[in-house]
Structure 1
Amino acid sequence: MTISPQAQALLDRDAKAVAGIEKLRFFPIAIEKGKGSWLTEVGGRKLLDLSSTWTACGLGHGHPKIIEAMVRAAQSPAGAGGLSAVHPDSVGFAEDLLAFTPGEGERRVYFGHSGTDANDVVFRAARQATGKKRIVTFKLGYHGGLGVAMKVSDVHIAAGAEADPDLFLATYPNPFRPHVAGDDPIAASVAASIAEIDRELAKGDVCCLMAEPILSDGGMIIPPKGFLTALQATCRKHGVLLAVDEVKMGLGRAGVMHAFQLDGIVPDIVTFGKLIGGGLPLSAAVAPAWVIDGPAASALLTTAGNPICTAVGRQVMRTLVEEDIPQRSARAGKRFVSGLKELMKDSPVIGDVRAEGLAIGLELVTDKESNTPDRALATKVVYRAFELGAVVHYVGGNVLEITPPLIINDEEIDLAVDILGKAIADAAAGKVSDEAVAPYAGW
């Protein structure tokens, strides 16, 4: 594939101007605009979006209701934040989110710019409120790229980041790769994980346990049914706050409004990001008032709660309900997975296809006997898919993370399956060179 001169010129400018510290690149993409489930490169080539910008654009690009809310708020904005003044959409966003999020007792809403700061504030607030220091998260987990949130994210720690000194990383059960053998290795793995966590919480010094309902960046790992239920019971047994990070997998993505509903639980704390802002920087945490209502001025972001982002956040919640997005996601996911499993039957390198709604993971392996993860193949598959006209990324080293806009239609799903099938076959056949992918290492 030849990159258009216009796209190459923009990529060259990016290389000279934008810091590499914030780049995670899988192929040479330069985007000019987007609409629905499609992106348009500089130069005019169209690409089917199977990432939704890591789920942030989950309602698609240019959703008319989101545009309307954004423009209306921008025409006469009530200042630029909710730090030292209130306005109707900052208060309304918090009220809407409290009604939208299952929970009990008196609760409050923190709003920020990204899932990172929402999670970071939760960890700091839990330590302050409980007087306890230790935090439990999971191996292969991700909760943010700055502060405490980064220091408790194993994805960063494994890459060399400093770990929080009071962190315990628990084992997340993976049905495709159980970590305990036996007649029923999946059940045994769940039991072992819960026992491990029970031992840590019994020490009495844990302020908070945070879990992802689907371990996305660690490899799109969908836990066995009952794991989150057992996890909540263990936290309650020891009086430990259970926080669920819904930043990436929540808000209809998993075929239910909140991904924790897959296991029928109601966490103490829930964090939101990405899709809640409809593509704009907005995040939130819903937590018990005794945890997050103070001390005053201990989590300051000048433009957090700004009228444009909060107006969009309110519209996102309305749209999720009015357009029955969770049900649409569940139905679309079934069609997508059916197509991918047909590919799996004839492919020697597709080890597993797993999904809840439109949170889909396709695991690439060297062969189906050993199920050895094939990172090199994943790198080449996402590159080849880009050449063929689709945007998809990999996570966990060897798993395609397929998270298209939740408004994707049947024709687009079928096209996506065709492109992914060809990309996998071509990459496995050696049609993507090491030299082509060398500048785009991804994770």
Structure 2
Amino acid sequence: MRTLYQRDARVMAGIEKLRFFPLEVVEGRASTLIDPAGRELLDLSATWTASGLGHGHPAVVDAVTKAAATAPGAGTLSAVHPDAVALAEELLALVPGSGERRVYLGHAGSDANDVALRACRHYSGRRTVLAFERSYHGGLGTAMAVSGQQADAGHTQDPDVVFLPYPNPLRPLTGDIESTVDTILGQVRRELEKNSVACLIVEPILSDGGLVVPPRGFLTKLQALCREFGVPLICDEVKVGLGRPGALHAFSDDGIEPDIAVFGKALGGGLPLSAAVGPADILDHPAASALLTTAGNPVCTAAGRAVLRTLIHDGLPARAREAGNRFMASLHRTADGHGTDGGRSAERIGDVRGRGLAIGVELVKNRSTLEPDRELAQRVVYRAWQLGAVVYYVGGNVLEITPPLVITDAEIDSAAAILDQAISDAMAGKVKDEEVEPYVGW
């Protein structure tokens, strides 16, 4: 009898696969995934943050069950229904901004970013999009074409995108992060002075490009430049927003109000749902230019409303901040030489960084050169899976730790111990070439 993974290999299209190890799952509960043999694994990815409330959260289950039983149609294309309108109202109340604003509801961050970008171009009549190197904004359309990081090497770059360096405190362009920020902002200003820019899109935390946390104040200065030139600033909150960074919004760490904020992944509680919140004069026109038949459907919007209620009622942003501090403290102990292997693995940890439960552990060949070590990252995530945890790497060599926001302290301590052991074991050669070879990853 073929395994589930073997059956998948025979029928599922390779173009939608990003695999790091042969993960088979048949059930999920909170922060736990269960494989066909009944083995429990700690989920440190939350399906790339899409399962932000964990698996099978009662509030989402209840909302979806009720909505599915009496769903009034399957979308908002040519009709309105209560949950879609209420979700939009609730998002407007939770996302800071002023003036007349509207909400686009979609299926994923990809289409929400795509719509926001196209709407800005139509509104201004300009074509240039300013984006950042190693950014990721989606897997289709304009959102894909202005992403600096792509799993698909055959994607077509938008001819009117200008990529800017993202400020990385570990690897500053000019020797120190302050002058690096000044250099980047100088590049932004020069582009804006050309009067051809339709919008600037930025991730408040560069996620798939390596979980890079920019220095505080960067977004504030970026927004000030955009406002000086009347150019909309789009904040892509899809992966790192909605409670994960220890605040409801990742952009709020700098206290800004983006012109357009884009949400996805966790918004749907595991179901396909996204949103773009921004000015009416941008998102209202042209009518019928972003049509997805089942966008804003009753089941997904009911789930979205349950997610927002739970985030607020259960205080999950604050919990994410506390949980992230606990997790990073354990990871720093390993990085400081207090791991299971007597400190040998510390030399291979170049950085531990993050906000809340968006955490990155950068693996390097040595701390002196900070040369990225993708091979070690491949082996560490594989070994962690063998030891009972699901974690992936981004940016080529950074372990991305984004567990469900409901992860417990005991689970955090267990996960930190597994990662400590996985790094040590991978360095000791306990993962073989033939084991990781089939899994390309990023």
Q: What TM-score results when the alignment is normalised by the length of structure 1?
A: 0.97
**How far is 1:42 from its partner?**
1.1
1:311 pairs with 2:310: no
Q: In structure 1, what is the equivalent of residue 390 of structure 2?
A: 391
What does the per-residue CA deviation read over 1:197-242, in whole Å, with 9 as the maximum and x for residues that have no partner? 1110111010110000000000000000110000000101111000
Of residues 96, 101, 115, the one that matches 1:107 is 101
Note the alpha carbon deviations across 1:332-374, whole angstroms, 9 max, x for none: 0000000000000122111100010000000000011111100
Q: CA deviation at 1:315?
A: 1.0
Deviation of residue 156 (structure 1)? 2.1
Worse-matched range after superposition: 21-30 or 346-355: 346-355
- In the alignment, the residues of structure 1 paired with residue 329 and residue 313 of structure 2 have an alpha-carbon distance, to the nearest angstrom, of 27
Is 1:150 equivalent to 2:141 in the alignment?
no
Contact 1:254-1:357 within 8 A present in 2 as well: yes
Which residue number in structure 2 is paired with residue 46 of structure 1? 40
Match of 1:139 in 2: 133
> Could you tell me how far apart the structure 2 residues matched to 1:409 and 1:157 are?
32
- Deviation, 1:435, is 0.8
Q: Which amino acid aligns with 1:192?
A: T
Secondary structure of 2:246's match? coil
Structure 1 residues 106-144: Cα deviation after superposition (integer angstroms, max 9, x where no partner): 000000000000000011111111111110100000000
Q: 2:53 aligns with which of 56, 59, 62?
A: 59
Structure 1 residue identity aligned to 2:116? V
- Out of 256, 262, 267, the position equivalent to 1:271 is 262
Q: 8 Å contact 1:157–1:163 — kept in the other structure?
A: no
2:341 corresponding residue in structure 1: none
Tell me how far 1:379 sits from its aligned partner: 0.5
Superposition deviation, residue 159 in structure 1: 3.1
Match of 1:208, SS state, is strand
**Distance of 1:50 and 1:157 partners within structure 2:** 21
What is the alpha-carbon distance in structure 2 between the residues aligned to residue 94 and residue 172 of structure 1? 31
2: CA distance, partners of 1:159 / 1:192: 29
Rounded to whole Å, the distance in 1 between the matches of 2:226 and 2:357 is 29
Give the equivalent residue in structure 2 for 1:240.
Answer: 231
The RMSD of aligned alpha carbons is 1.0
User: Cα offset for 1:264?
Assistant: 0.7
Pairing 1:284-363 to 2, within 5 Å after superposition: 284-346=275-337, 347-363=346-362
Aligned to 2:342: none
Q: Is the 8 A contact 1:151 1:157 kept in 2?
A: no
**What residue is the counterpart of 1:431 in the other structure?**
430
5+ unaligned residues in a row in structure 2: which ranges? 338-345
**2:189 & 2:135 partners in 1: Cα distance?**
19
Q: CA deviation at 1:161?
A: 1.9
Q: Does 1:173 align with 2:167?
A: yes
| Gap change, CA 1:118 and 1:435, over 3 Å in 2 | same
Q: Provide the rounded CA distance (Å) in 1 between the counterparts of 2:294 and 2:67.
A: 14
2:78 is aligned with 1:84: yes
Q: Distance in 1 between matches of 2:163 and 2:27?
A: 40
CA distance in 2, matches of 1:10, 1:407: 28
3-state SS of the aligned residue for 2:26? Answer: strand
What is the match of residue 129 of structure 1?
123
Distance 1:348 1:312 in 2: 44
1:376 corresponding residue in structure 2:
375
TM-score, length basis structure 2: 0.97
1:110 alignment partner, SS class: strand
CA distance in 2, matches of 1:80, 1:161: 32
Query: Could you list the per-position Cα deviations for residues 355-406 of structure 1 after superposition, in whole angstroms to 9, with x for gaps in the alignment?
Result: 1000000000001111110000000000000000000000000000000011
Per the TM alignment, residue 67 of structure 1 is displaced from its structure 2 partner at its CA by 0.5
The reply to whether residue 225 of structure 1 matches residue 216 of structure 2 is: yes
Residues of 1 paired with 2:387 and 2:278: CA distance?
A: 44
- 1:162 CA drift (Å): 1.2
Alpha carbons of 1:157 and 1:127: their partners in 2 closer, same or farther (altered >3 Å)? Answer: farther
Aligned residue-pair number: 434
**What per-residue deviation string (whole Å, max 9, x for no partner) do you get for residues 50-87 of structure 1?**
00000000111111011000001011101111111000
Residue aligned with 2:98, SS? coil
TM-superposed CA distance for 1:157, in Å, is: 8.6
Q: Which amino acid aligns with 1:43?
A: A
- What CA distance in whole angstroms lies between the structure 2 residues aligned with 1:100 and 1:311? 17
> Which stretch has the larger CA shift, 159-168 or 232-241?
159-168
Aligned to 2:92: 98
- TM-superposed CA distance for 1:265, in Å, is 0.5
Aligned residue type for 1:406:
L
**Percent identity at matched positions?**
59
> Whole-Å Cα distance in 2 between the matches of residues 21 and 63 of structure 1?
30
